[in-house]
Amino acid sequence: MKFVDEAVIDIAAGNGGAGCMSFRREKCIPFGGPNGGNGGKGGSIWFVGDRNLNTLIDYRYARRHEARNGESGRGSDQFGAASEDIVLRVPVGTIVKDFETDQILAELIEPDVPVLLCKGGDGGFGNMHYKTSTNRAPRQHTPGWPGEHKKVRLELRVLADVGLLGMPNAGKSTLITAISNARPKIADYPFTTLHPNLGVVRVGPEKSFVVADIPGLIEGAAEGAGLGHQFLRHLQRTRLLLHVIDMAPFDDVDPVQQAKALALELKKYDPELAAKPRWLVLNKLDMVALDDRAARVKDIVKRLKWKGPVFEISALAREGLQPMLHAIFEHVHAQVEQPAPPVDPRFEADTPIAAPVVDEPVRPVRAAKKVAKAAQADNDEPVDPRFAPIEPELEIEVTAPAAPARRRSRAA
Ligand SMILES: Nc1nc2c(ncn2[C@@H]2O[C@H](COP(=O)(O)OP(=O)(O)OP(=O)(O)O)[C@@H](O)[C@H]2O)c(=O)[nH]1
Ligand SMILES: [Mg+2]
């Protein structure tokens, strides 16, 4: 399916139905009273992240999504029906931005968690709503409230832990094929890959991470050279970038020069992305003579003034992959925030035990002494304050309520 990672659509929620003004008119029922019902609510527009989608192509064709208006209220106590909401399913990782202001309205990171983007208008009140004991024949009724409408830009940023970055033909697609279940097209011409591919890497039982392979980047991408640099947005959510470098390029270009140019492009696109942890992956080691390898690697690292981790691999021959995968997994795993275990408030240490409610102040010193004495009574082990016996005979200072002052006039 065609990969589309951007779309602009209009969304409009439904208006609320109008309230009705009506009176009960029936034979032999004088003064029947108001019976106009409220209007129904207009449909809202929700977005939901769907794990099974990976493109925004549907929104290239269907560009306007309108929910229906709420039904108007009617006489005979009838309320208008609310309209159905519209749920737009988008790939997980989609960002919804306001078209005019570019403000982020929603990020759909969690699958199947609906996010409200346009609220439907509430229904208006019928005259039945206004009846009171003093206003028995109200003629007020209100129209429905309008629904929200927006023009939004949808941007897909794939959710991956690790991103592969490199010049065209560096071997990124070969690497993702070697380590994961992804099968992108591989060929010996530049720009084989035209859209991001995701692959799940299984390092061991219950140990996995997701890798994203993106199209190659060249010098001047910020100005539109090659495929431009727009797809770098797919690396913005990763935790680690693997900078794949071809150690034996065909046309004898300098890999160090290219690596520096690529780092510059990264900075031009987004300084935050350039600041992400980046590791060097020197690929196509099999193309370098055995006795020349160490010197070549040392030379590249030295000229790049590289301080971070360096891995020497051959994606095609599948050499040197395992140590790299384990190191990546450790890094990614360490960065994933561990969600705090749910705490049952009943067993929370800080929760005070329900104390007897007393209005008068307790004498603190004597009460504390008694608690300490009770704790030492049976054994010497320190007693958890939560399980300390509640002192029944707390010394309570009872102050007699002040006698009401007599009026002087009476006393006199
Ligand atoms: N000898 C050798 N060839 C490799 C290795 N890795 C990749 N190649 C070859 O390099 C060529 C380009 O590989 P790709 O994986 O398509 O490169 P890419 O970085 O994805 O390129 P683009 O998608 O165009 O950006 C292919 O012909 C691969 O067979 C390697 O480790 N050793
Ligand atoms: Mg490729």
* Structural domains of the chain, with CATH: 1-156 (2.70.210.12), 162-335 (3.40.50.300)
Contact 40, 123 (CB under 8 A): yes
Mutate to test the pocket of ligand 1, among 3, 164, 169, 211 (most ligand atoms within 8 A of CB): 169
pLDDT tens digits for 44-94? 999 999 888 888 888 888 889 999 999 999 989 999 999 999 999 998 889
pLDDT of 122: 92
pLDDT of 97: 92
pLDDT of 337: 60
Question: For ligand 1, is residue 177 a contact (CB within 6 Å)?
Answer: no
First to last CA, the chain: 102
- DSSP track, 178-218: HHSS------SSS----S-EEEEEEEETTEEEEEEE-----
CA distance 407 to 316: 104
Contact 9, 152 (CB under 8 A): yes
Among 4-18, 142-156, 244-258, the range scoring the smallest mean pLDDT is 244-258
pLDDT tens digits for 361-399? 444 455 455 545 544 544 455 555 555 555 544 444 444
pLDDT tens digits for 312-356? 899 888 888 899 999 998 888 887 765 555 555 555 555 454 444
pLDDT of 360: 46
Strand, coil or helix: 315: coil
| Residues bordering ligand 2, an ion, CB closer than 5 Å | 173, 192-193
Calculate the average pLDDT of the chain: 81
Place of tokens 């602009």: 8
* H/E element, 10: strand 6-12
Q: If you take atom 26 of ligand 1, which residue's CA is the nearest one?
A: 188
Whole-number Å distance, alpha carbon 383 to ligand 1 midpoint, is: 67
Q: If you take atom 9 of ligand 1, which residue's CA is the nearest one?
A: 171
Question: For ligand 1, is residue 182 a contact (CB within 6 Å)?
Answer: no
Place of tokens 């409610």: 357
Whole-number Å distance, alpha carbon 26 to ligand 2 midpoint, is: 79
pLDDT tens digits for 102-120? 898 988 888 889 999 999 9
pLDDT band of residue 37 (cuts 50, 70, 90) is: very high
Residues 6+ apart with CB under 8 A from 95: 104, 106, 107, 108, 154, 155, 156, 157
Contact 308, 278 (CB under 8 A): yes
Beta bridge partners of 201: 209
Q: Which amino acid is at 230?
A: Q
pTM over 0.85: no
Contact 212, 200 (CB under 8 A): no
Quick one: which atom of ligand 1 is closest to the CA of 170? Answer: 19
Quick one: which atom of ligand 1 is closest to the CA of 287? Answer: 1
pLDDT tens digits for 265-302? 888 888 888 888 999 999 988 888 888 888 888 888 88
Question: For ligand 1, is residue 166 a contact (CB within 6 Å)?
Answer: yes
CA distance 248 to 262: 17
CA 95 to chain centre: 9
